[in-house]
Amino acid sequence: MKPSGRTRGKAPFYWLILAPALAVMLWLTVYPIVNILFTSFQSYNYLTDARHWVGIKNYTDILGDRVFIRSFTNTVIYCVGTTLFEVSFGVILALVFYGEFRGKSAFMIMAIFPMMLSTMVVCAVWKTLYHYDIGLFNYILKSVGLAKIGWLIDKDKALISLALVDIWQWTPFAFIVMQAGLSSVPTEIFEASAIDGSSYRQTLFRITLPILRDQILLLLLLRIIDTFKVFAKVFALTKGGPGNATETTSYFIYREAFSYFKLGRSSAASVITLVAVGLASIYYLRKILRED
Amino acid sequence: MASFVTKKRGILFPIALAAILFLTLFPIYWILAISLKTPLENISPVPTLFPKTITFQNYAGILSGGYLRNLGNSVFVTAASTFLSLALAFLAAYSLSRHRFPLKLNYAFLIWIIVAKMLPPVVLAVPLYDMFAKMKLLNNLWGLVLVYQVYTLPYCIWMLFGFMKSLPLEYEEAAELDGASPFQTLGLVVLPLVRTGIVATAIFSIIVAWDEFLFSLLFVRSPELLTLPLVIANFIGEYETLWGQLMGVGLLATIPVLIFSRVVYRRMTQAYALGLK
């Protein structure tokens, strides 16, 4: 991240051309965060415009609110579950489809279609597949003599159904990242190991996976960061229900602010989320800093 | 290390290949199939794998429903926000890669925009909604173009920063010796050199902006200003049984980005190589 080479030209020019982007980012990200920090210590109803200081009441309220706690645990379960599945599938697929074969690039290009689609399109098609009465999944279950499943309406299954959609959409990302990593390893390394008489399993656990370790960690982080934000899928498929079964922190913040107009509570929930994201990303940031 | 399936070169490999393709492509085929079925066939409790009668009435419904206008909104917002991000990011990335600012501003800024990209956008949405309301930028496509910078600008700055950093300085120095002003150097020397980088960056930015949902949900109300993801969300919520039209709109929203798959595959394969060679 150091500026390459020596500094050229005059400083004012560089300030001038950095200024627009700097201003936009300050305006769109720094200001809002400062704003929610303040608002989180206030009671603020957007509709009546009544605003006054309440100390840490919002925080104690939120942390004692069953719905918020539920939304937080749901988010963590969803985030960890989808990430683990996506990354392990990605690693397995990269190993299975390692090496050259006819039509590989066409195959890879089709394999990443799901991550290219708009999330809303993905939700739409899965909503039809999941439909209780006229969906394809329940039709298949019924025709093989099994009971229908309330994919999105059963409170024990709805979160899993949401996770399945994410896994379908983003495993391709894990696949392509792992296959890029794996195919950039010089083949000599594997050949040497084969000459030494290692079995496939030995090579896998002693050489391949250790080489890919950093790549796997990076992938885990990218997916954790992304799945932690989950909002659009909840909005389109379940609206947080049934009950609070698929309530997530993003959805909680959205509802507190835009349905109940309780901006203090919504801001306090945002700050808690910020802290959680910050803690989770320290490792990632340190890695980026070390690289440059 | 031969793949444990290719090594055998047996029946297993083609089966694995076919299974993955089926899992990936079936839902996409399903979008197409539903969009070609009659409304009656779509609500039948016995789903049909192929449309019994192929009909274009759903597409006619999309045309008469005015959804092409929403397609136009999506195209406009995506193009304008990508263009704005590229312009700002081109200047910023050049500045950050060529000049050492005081107080480690280079580090601070680059790290900050990564952090910003990691935040759930809903966290920023509440104060931004308030601010955009006061600036009369709600229910306005230009407002969306501005707020999309939250997503697209960090992306563009980081990607272009990578390209700029790897440019040799000789060209710029030569231009300077020939008496070019800093802006001339930027426009006539640097811009052509990072052209391919700009195209790649634009594609990623387009994909992000095209998919955006939260801010368009909050900031735009009038039906004629909605972007495609919003139209789809409304379809899912309100007209639960108009699956044919829903999937038709879905296909409209899908085709423009699927054509980038090849470039995305190439780019990511390069970007995520381990750098051991």
Q: Find the residue in B nearest to A23 (Cα).
A: B88
Which among B101, B119, B268 is the nearest to A274, CB-wise? Answer: B119
- B189-207 pLDDT tens trace: 889 888 988 998 999 899 9
Q: What is the CATH number of domain B66-238?
A: 1.10.3720.10
Residue A190 · residue B3 · CB < 8 Å: no
Q: For chain B, give the mean pLDDT.
A: 87
Which among A36, A124, A190 is the nearest to B1, CB-wise? Answer: A190
Count of C-beta atoms within a 10 Å radius of residue A140: 12
The answer for residues whose C-beta is within 8 angstroms of residue B63's C-beta and 6 or more apart is none
Residue A157, helix vs strand vs coil: coil
Q: How confident is the model at residue A85 (pLDDT cuts 50, 70, 90)?
A: very high
Q: Give pLDDT, residue A134.
A: 84
pLDDT: which is higher, A88 or B3: A88
CB contact under 8 Å between A113 and B261, yes or no, is yes
Please report, for chain B, the start and end positions of each structural domain, with discontinuous segments joined by +: 12-57, 66-238
* Least confident interval from A47-61, A107-121, B75-89, B101-115: A47-61
Q: How far is residue A46's CA from residue A229's CA, in Å, rounded to a whole number?
A: 24
Backbone angles phi, psi at A51, to 5 degrees: -140, 125
Topology of domain A57-291, per CATH?
MetI-like fold (1.10.3720)
Q: Give pLDDT, residue A6.
A: 45
Q: Give pLDDT, residue A26.
A: 92
- A28-54 pLDDT tens trace: 999 999 998 988 888 887 777 778 888
The answer for residues whose C-beta is within 8 angstroms of residue A226's C-beta and 6 or more apart is A170
Q: Find the residue in A nearest to B241 (Cα).
A: A128
Q: At what angle do helices A158-183 and A66-96 cross, to 10 degrees?
A: 40
Q: Give pLDDT, residue A28.
A: 92
Q: How confident is the model at residue B6 (pLDDT cuts 50, 70, 90)?
A: very low
Q: Give pLDDT, residue A243.
A: 85
Q: Give pLDDT, residue B74.
A: 93
What tokens does A5 get? 């080479």
Gap from A65 CA to chain B (nearest CA, Å): 19
CB contact under 8 Å between A257 and B125, yes or no, is yes
pLDDT for A291 beyond 70:
no
Mutate to test the interface with B, among A6, A17, A211 (most CBs of B within 10 A): A17
CB contact under 8 Å between B123 and A273, yes or no, is yes
CB contact under 8 Å between B118 and A93, yes or no, is no
- B164-188 pLDDT tens trace: 888 888 888 888 888 888 888 888 8
Put simply, whether A257 touches B (Cβ < 8 Å) is yes
Q: Which residues of B touch A289 (CB under 8 A)?
A: 107, 111
pLDDT for A193 beyond 60:
yes
Q: Give pLDDT, residue A253.
A: 92
Q: Give pLDDT, residue B5.
A: 45
Q: Give pLDDT, residue A189.
A: 81
In SS3 terms, A251-279 reads as HHHHHHHHCCCEHHHHHHHHHHHHHHHHH
* H and E: helices and strands count for chain A: 15, 2
CB contact under 8 Å between A107 and B21, yes or no, is yes
pLDDT: which is higher, B5 or B64: B64
Q: Find the residue in A nearest to B249 (Cα).
A: A121
Q: How confident is the model at residue A196 (pLDDT cuts 50, 70, 90)?
A: confident
Which among A98, A136, A225 is the nearest to B1, CB-wise? Answer: A98
Chain A, chain B: beta-carbon pairs less than 8 Å apart: 334
Q: Which residues of B touch A15 (CB under 8 A)?
A: 95, 101
Gap from A74 CA to chain B (nearest CA, Å): 15
Q: How confident is the model at residue A83 (pLDDT cuts 50, 70, 90)?
A: very high
pLDDT for B1 beyond 80:
no
Residue range A87-93: mean pLDDT, rounded: 94
- B39-53 pLDDT tens trace: 878 877 778 888 888
pLDDT: which is higher, A291 or A273: A273
Gap from B76 CA to chain A (nearest CA, Å): 17
Put simply, whether A198 touches B (Cβ < 8 Å) is no
Percent of chain B's residues with pLDDT above 90: 31
Residue range A259-271: mean pLDDT, rounded: 89
Count of C-beta atoms within a 10 Å radius of residue B144: 27
Helices (H), B137-188: 141-147, 149-165, 170-177, 182-184
Residue B273 · residue A180 · CB < 8 Å: yes
Question: What is the value of ipTM here, to two decimals?
Answer: 0.87
Q: Give pLDDT, residue B240.
A: 66
Backbone angles phi, psi at A26, to 5 degrees: -65, -45
